[in-house]
Amino acid sequence: MGPSRAAGGTTLLEIRGELDILAVSVLSDALDDLTGAQGVDLVLDVRAVTFIDCAGLSLLSRARHRTRQRGGRLRLAGADGDGSVARLLRMTGLEDSFDLLPDDAAADTLAGAAGPAGVTDAAGSAVA
């Protein structure tokens, strides 16, 4: 997993590519590290996720659960449109289980976290 970006107490992690069982095996430990802190404010930008399966959905659910257990919050940016993550959340009835950032709020959050590259493809490689 590549670096994440932080701005104003919010950590942003962009995930790109396929979020499937192979990607989950690479991302799970690093995401557990991010969600293990007390009171973490984490935004996962999933706009560039091209495919997500049940393993990817499980990873997002685990991250949400771990964050809430520790008094933090996890928000998904780019999961309220027609992308693969949004479609899977709708199909499984889980869209209300996640805190979804509307496009305008997502843009503000993402712009506030501008800085060094914090883009990770779903296989865990940093993307320039």
Structure confidence by residue, pLDDT tens digits, 104-125: 665 566 666 544 334 445 555 4
- For the residues 16-34, what does the mean pLDDT come to? 94
Distance, CA of 57 to CA of 29 (rounded, Å):
16
> pTM surpassing 0.95?
no
**CA atoms lying within 13 Å on the CB side of residue 109:** 23
pLDDT higher than threshold 80 for residue 128 = no
Query: Domain 5-121 classified CATH 1.50.10.20?
Result: no
121 in Cβ contact with 16 (< 8 Å): yes
Q: What is the pLDDT of residues 59-109, one digit of tens each?
A: 999 999 999 999 999 999 999 888 999 999 999 999 999 999 976 665 566
